[in-house]
Structures are given as structure tokens and as C-alpha cells.
Homo-oligomer: A and B are copies of this chain.
Amino acid sequence: MKYSKFNFEITFRAPSSKARLGKLSTPHGVVETPAFIFCATKAAIKGATPEEMWREKTQIILSNTYHLMLQPGAELVAKMGGLHKFMGWNGPMLTDSGGFQIFSLGHGSVAEEVKGRRQSTRPKSLLTITEEGATFKSYLDGKTHILSPEKSIQVQRDLGADLIVVLDECTPFHVDKSYTEKSMHMSHRWAERSLKEFQRGDTGVQALYGITQGGVYPDLRRISADFVNNQPFFGHAVGGSLGADKAQMAEVVQMAMEPLDPSRPVHLLGIGGISDIFYGVTQGIDTFDCVHPTRLARHGGALTPPSVWEQLEENPKGREHMNLRNARFRDDPRPIDETCGCHTCQTLSRGYLHHLLKSGELLAMNALTTHNVHFMNRLLASIRKAIDTGSLREEKIKWIV
């Protein structure tokens, strides 16, 4: 397991934080880090084509193992030549382990906890968790499936993304330290089984990420970091509970990152708020993912920097997107953001986007999705430049009101 077709080169380390610049090389191209990973959940970005993702300077996307193993099935994707060929995306790709959806459908998600949304009205589809793996019911037809560490690797091998992730138990909310510790050790054993299955089938075209556990407990975070550091993972993801709110998340990310091997790339799972990204990079996080930019677009929201809000509002505090459904934009001939280089801002007005939303036209989703994709890629490019020039603090106030 030499990951000879992969490389993570750290090209610059900030002198006053753990922020760094890197080049993450995969068989499908190089990702300049820090980078944002967009969610193509079911092997398609909702609202944008692969060509539009490239045009708006996307480096890497991910798909979800949970959804794809149920529809169309991993074997079918393998038969069709793997995810890249299947969906026509020739750049770097990541798949997750499938665990997040299974456990979040059972317990509610880590992201929901961090964001203060703890209630879920969805039926619980997680049936049991044992040493063997997780048993769950398909969201499509109610059939029972088992996801074991080995099965997750097999499915991800069939899917064929460049970067793949071990199965872990996403620990439920508000469990005590004893549960967290036991869960961590089981996730470590699952990681060892994942590695073994990965090595068994390794042909050099995929690289495996381990996940660091330990919840909100510093001593457990250290034990888990020691564990993953000593396993032959290509990269790490920060997993386990990140706490009850944004303040605690910052603390937990710091304690999780502190003991991690700094030579490996680190992914922060499911987190992609603008301030979270600024914080994460100072802790050494290299990649982020979140459905927010593309989901927001489908609801009529366009991400905008403070410069836009300063023109629109007396008190722009806390604004980060405009709802184009708002009647104030009805006859507004300006683009969403005059400083944005995306295709939507180059060609379409707020007034037209408002009309498309009022009329229920599909084009509204496409125009806003590609804008939000460009926004995130522009944000991360600005962050990379600011790390290079030592101006991350100054850069942050250009993006957060």
C-alpha cells in the first residue's frame, strides 16, 4: 500500500497558525488545498452539469456510498466503468463510507447537533449496530441491508472514486464518555478490518482515509489520533461528535487536529459554513464538504460576500446569502454580485432570476447552483492566496459581515 499514484505535498506552512497550502495528487488530477468538495450525492450534482462544475473552477466532488449502493447499486456502477465514466466527471472524486447516512438516519446527524437541530421526524431506519456492522432498512423499498467495514470498502471499490473512507460508528448525541470510548475502540477495529479489505483488493487507483474518533474528550481524541497515525492511511477525516454548538465544535476540532500526523491530508466531514472554513484552515484542515451551497441554490438563495450587503442594508450583520424570491429584486438589473466572475453574474440579472423563481423555471436552480459553486471555489482560492501572503485575518472580513 504505497499510494504510488497519490501524493500530498505541503507547499507552504503559515508561520502563525496550522494553516497550510498543499497539492493533493490523484489519478484524476491535482487538488490545490485548502479545497471545497461539492456533493454529487447520487452521482450527479443537483442543478449543474460536470462541464459547468469545471467552468466554475471546481477541483473535486464526492458521491455518497449509502445512496449509490441502493440505487443503482455499486455492481452496476462498476459494470458501467466506475463513477467517473458513469457520470462523465474526469476530475478527482471522493466517496464516503455510507456510515454517516445510516447512523444519522438512526440517531440524527452530527451536523444537525452542531447546528442545534436535534429533532428528526424521519422514521428511524437503523436497526442494529453490532461488532459485525450496521443493519438498516433501505430508504427506497424498506429492504434490510448490512453495511460492514468490508462491505463499505467493496462498495467503494466498485464505485471507483479516488479517495475513499473507512466505515466508522457515527456516535449518537449526548452519550457518556464510556459509550464514546467503547464506540471509538469498535471504530478502530472496523478501521483495521477496512484496511485489511482495502489491501486485499488494492490496485493502486484508490487511497484510503482513516477517521479520528473520541468525541468531545481530549484524552480519547489523543488515543484515536495515535491509532490512525500508526495505520497506513493516506489521509485522515475528523469524525465523531463535534460537540453541541459551533463554539464547542471549534474546541473539538482543535483537540482532534493537535495530535494528528501533520504530513497527511485532513478532511472535515460535512462542515462547510464560511466561518467554519476560515477556522478549520487555521487548524490545518485541508478539505471541507457540505450540501449547503447547492441546496441553498435550489431554494432560491445566492451566496454573496459582505460587499453586496453593504450596498443593500443599513445593518448587513450576519448576511451571507440573498433570497432572489424577494420582491425587492423584481426589477433589479444588477447581477447577484458585481465582483463575481461566474457565468450567471456575467449574463443574468437579479430581476431575471427573480422571474425564473416566480415562474418555477428549472433554469433558476442551474443559474443559482453554478453561482454558489463559483462562490465557494472563489472563497477557497482567496483563502489559499491569503495563507500564502499571511493575510488570513484580513481576508476573513471580506467574506463575513
Contacts and interface: CB of A to CB of B under 8 A. Distances in A.
Interface of A: 42-47, 49-51, 67, 71-72, 76, 79-81, 86-88, 330-331, 333, 343, 347-349, 351-352, 354-356, 358-359, 361-363, 365-366
The 4 residue pairs across chains A and B that have the minimum distance between CB atoms: A88-B347, A44-B363, A44-B361, A72-B355
A300 to B, nearest CB: 15
A331 B46 contact: no
Contact of A358 (B71, B86, B347, B366): B71
Nearest to A55: B51
Contacts of A348: 87-88
Given A72-B330, A349-B86, A358-B72, A363 B49 contact: yes
Contacts of A359: 42, 44, 67, 71
B49 A349 contact: no
6 contacts: A46-B361, A46-B363, A67-B359, A80-B349, A80-B351, A81-B333
Nearest to A43: B355
B351 A76 contact: yes
Contacts of A43: 352, 355
A359 B333 CA distance: 36
Contacts of A80: 331, 333, 349, 351-352
Contacts of A343: 51
B76 A42 contact: no
A287 to B, nearest CB: 24
A346 B71 CA distance: 24
Contact of A355 (B71, B330, B354): B71
B365 A362 contact: yes
A330 B79 CA distance: 11
Contacts of A46: 361-363
A356 B77 CA distance: 13
A361 B331 contact: no
Contacts of A352: 43, 80, 86-88
A361 B80 CA distance: 19
B363 A76 contact: no
Nearest to A85: B349
Which of A79, A354, A356, A362 is packed against the most chain B CB atoms within 10 Å? A362
Nearest to A72: B355
Contacts of A88: 347-348, 352
Contacts of A349: 80, 86
Contacts of A363: 44-46, 49
Contacts of A44: 356, 359, 361-363
A81 B349 CA distance: 11
A343 B50 CA distance: 11
A362 B47 contact: yes
Given A44-B362, A79-B331, 7 more contacts: A43-B355, A45-B363, A71-B355, A76-B330, A80-B331, A87-B348, A88-B348
Contacts of A365: 362
Which of A331, A333, A355 is packed against the most chain B CB atoms within 10 Å? A355
A88 B370 CA distance: 16
Nearest to A89: B347
A347 B51 CA distance: 11
A76 B343 CA distance: 23
